[in-house]
Structure 1
Amino acid sequence: MAALIPLASLAAEGASCTAASTEKKLAGAAKNSFMKKCEKDAAATCDAAAVEKKIFGAAKNSFTKKCVKDAVG
């Protein structure tokens, strides 16, 4: 769960994975690796948020998809 906190703080600040990669001046394989990990972390965080909000089934899938899209942005 501790690994999810940095992404949650990014989301709280309004920064996205794309913005974070740009800020870190990542390119090529480093950017791809960062984006893949960031998207995976976002999916885990969004799934946890859906469970916390008691969202299940198709609504959970929709919520998670939008949440990850917003986080990766």
Structure 2
Amino acid sequence: MKNIIIALSVVLSFAFPSFAFADKAACETKAVSHDGKPLYGAAKDASIKKCMGDAKPDDCEAKAVSKDGKPLYGAAKAASIKKCEGGK
């Protein structure tokens, strides 16, 4: 039983990074301009970053502050986090 668990953990450790590469590859194929030409440089990087949704919930919670720098609470905090994450 112990060997099966070890084997599964090894297999899964190699499987998860491949999912990240698949997402990035899919985002790279979507990085095209409005007229269908592929993007290059900073525009391509920005498009891939937006596609992959690099906004982390921890970062969004840290940014949920009012104009005077105080942390938000309740519905205002939820709305701020939702806006930061891109409305997912």
Bin the TM-score by the shorter chain: 0.3 to 0.5
Q: Which has the higher contact order (CA 8 A, sep 6+)?
A: 1
- Structure of higher CA gyration radius: 2
Q: Whose helix fraction is larger, Structure 1's or Structure 2's?
A: 1
Q: TM-score, with normalisation over the residues of structure 2?
A: 0.34
What is the TM-score of this pair, normalised by structure 1? 0.39
